[in-house]
Structure 1
Amino acid sequence: MTQIQSAVPDNTQGVREMLRASGYSEKAIDYYINKPHMGQVSDADISSEMTGSCGDTMGITIKMENGLVSDAKYQVMGCAGAVSAAMAVVDLIKGKDLDYARSINDGAVFKVLQEIPVKKHHCIQLAVKTLHKAIDLQQMKQSA
């Protein structure tokens, strides 16, 4: 990916109001504004990238220690729904094993986000599919 969405808007109150009016929960808005897991993990053990049907692109990098996810980050070129979904996925998988991470589904992410517009539910799917692709690629590597 050539561009990372990482700048925190100067006028966060205006952004918050706009996102609230669009149907985003405060939790989803906080993820979008703060982007706590945006970037790349150096020396990642697992990674993948996907582009969704809307054109949003995500890449995930994961670092493992003692069989658990010690760190994970997403790079996201996309909308508030894509950013917030990716950030929620990381919160769900940190400190967990890959079997648990592979069991994460759209509903679990939606539960963390609490609310995003219906037209943005595909962003949750993209974040989950990017995670699953990374885990599947890692498992194929290990079994080869």
Structure 2
Amino acid sequence: MDEEVSDFWQSHSLKYLEMAFRTDKQEIIKHPDGYGKKTGDCGDTVEIFLVAFDNTIEKASNYINGCMNTAACANTIVNMVENKTIDQAWEITPEMVAGYLETLPQDHFHCAELAVGALYMALSNLLELRRAQWKKAYNVR
């Protein structure tokens, strides 16, 4: 058993470990400017919350119900989008998330796809709420 634990810590990059165990950005924002929720075939769920000013995402957070790989991917998304423009956020791909983490297991690439899918839903919601401001009062989780 100790060998398995040792292998885990040795077989993952520092970036992966940091993102997998990070909790400071796991937060439900009450009235986000953009919100997206996606559940994968595996049963994992990622929720992304965005707060934007003008064209910049000033704050992002996530709430997940899933495995460590999903947590790592969701935290990576939040890390990548904060202080970026909305257009830059649209350019984030699952490949970029997996590349940043360096050691995301190939059989868990769907976790990166899930997190990016939730981001795209949050970005779509943000743009929709900007077009119809009155909807923000009804934007519920």
Q: TM tier, shorter chain?
A: 0.7 to 0.9
- Residue 56 of structure 2 corresponds to which residue in structure 1? 68
1:29-68, Cα deviation, whole Å (9 max, x unpaired): 1212222311122431110111011000111111112321
C-alpha deviation, 1:138, in angstroms? 2.6
Give the TM-score normalised by the residue count of structure 1. Answer: 0.80
Does residue 1:30 correspond to 2:26, yes or no? no
Give the TM-score normalised by the residue count of structure 2. Answer: 0.81
Structure 2 counterpart of 1:91, which letter? Answer: N
Alignment coverage as a number of residue pairs: 131
C-alpha deviation, 1:95, in angstroms? 0.4
The within-5 A match list for 1:74-93 is 74-93=62-81
Residue aligned with 2:104, SS? coil
C-alpha deviation, 1:15, in angstroms? 9.7
- Report if the CA contact (8 A) 2:55-2:85 is conserved: yes
121, 124, 127: which one aligns with 1:136: 124
- CA separation of 1:143/1:43 partners in 2, compared to 1, >3 Å: closer, same or farther? closer
**Once superposed, which parts of structure 1, at least 4 consecutive aligned residues long, lie more than 2 Å away?**
14-21, 23-26, 137-144
14, 20, 24: which one aligns with 2:9: 20
Please list every run of 5 or more consecutive structure 2 residues that lacks an aligned counterpart in the other structure: 133-141
C-alpha deviation, 1:142, in angstroms? 3.5
- Residue 84 of structure 2 corresponds to which residue in structure 1? 96
- CA separation of 1:123/1:15 partners in 2, compared to 1, >3 Å: closer, same or farther? farther
Does residue 1:43 correspond to 2:1, yes or no? no
Percent of counterpart pairs with the same letter? 23
94, 115, 121: which one aligns with 1:106: 94
CA RMSD of aligned residues (A): 2.3
